[in-house]
């Protein structure tokens, strides 16, 4: 089933690039609302599987003291841990806040969104007036495939359209993951229940 689906996606993508066909954009038949199926949604999630992983996730021993289901972020290590039962955790590579934007504390997951829209906060627009005032969700959106909102703060754990920044301190305080990793974490955390502990 997946093989047939992948072949259909490839054929449609190839047809989209061949000008000899009578129709100029065969993918337009597959578009819904205001986004392209290859840019956002389940097809984009499927295609993202084949993108290279910056820092591969792995299972590691956990001795941090936090209970199963807790998310622990070590900004110094640039790693995020999802604590499992039995003294283990899933370790993910992350991008963290650059100098002057790092923070620590404990938050609760307050909301989750797939392919979220992005509206830069006023503080960010002051620093970067070149940024768009609003950007619809999709492959080019800096929030990537998923966003996990932390309490009432402006901080999020989110995907990224810049996987080369994973493992670096470059953000304005949000925690960046590859789209593949954030989709995995997104399915594990629970709104209103999952605690996120950020350590410096």
Catalytic residue ranges: 158, 174
Structure tokens at 144: 């990537």
Q: How far apart are CA 124 and CA 46, in angstroms?
A: 32
Question: Which H helix or E strand runs over 179?
Answer: helix 179-188
Residue whose entry in the numeric block shows the structure tokens 């992350």: 94
Question: Which H helix or E strand runs over 198?
Answer: strand 195-199
Helix (H, G, I), strand (E, B) or coil at 35: strand
Q: How far apart are CA 115 and CA 136, in angstroms?
A: 8
- The residues near 7 (Cβ < 8 Å, ≥ 6 apart) are none
């Amino acid at each position: 089933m997946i093989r047939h689906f992948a072949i259909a996606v490839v054929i449609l993508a190839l047809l989209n690039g061949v000008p000899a066909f009578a129709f100029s954009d065969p993918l337009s038949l597959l578009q819904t609302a205001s986004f392209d199926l290859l840019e956002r949604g389940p097809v984009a999630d499927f295609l993202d599987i084949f993108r290279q992983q910056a820092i591969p996730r792995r299972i590691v021993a956990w001795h941090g003291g936090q209970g199963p289901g807790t998310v622990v972020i070590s900004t110094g290590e640039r790693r995020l841990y999802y604590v499992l039962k039995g003294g283990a955790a899933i370790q993910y590579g992350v991008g963290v806040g650059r100098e002057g934007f790092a923070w620590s504390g404990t938050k609760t997951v307050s909301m989750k969104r797939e392919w979220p829209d992005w509206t830069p906060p006023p503080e960010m627009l002051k620093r970067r007036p070149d940024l768009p005032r609003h950007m619809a969700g999709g492959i080019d959106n800096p929030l990537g495939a998923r966003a996990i909102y932390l309490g009432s703060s402006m901080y999020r754990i989110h995907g990224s359209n810049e996987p080369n920044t994973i493992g670096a301190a470059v953000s304005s305080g949000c925690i960046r993951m590859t789209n593949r990793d954030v989709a995995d974490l997104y399915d594990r955390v629970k709104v209103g229940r999952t605690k996120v502990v950020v350590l410096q």
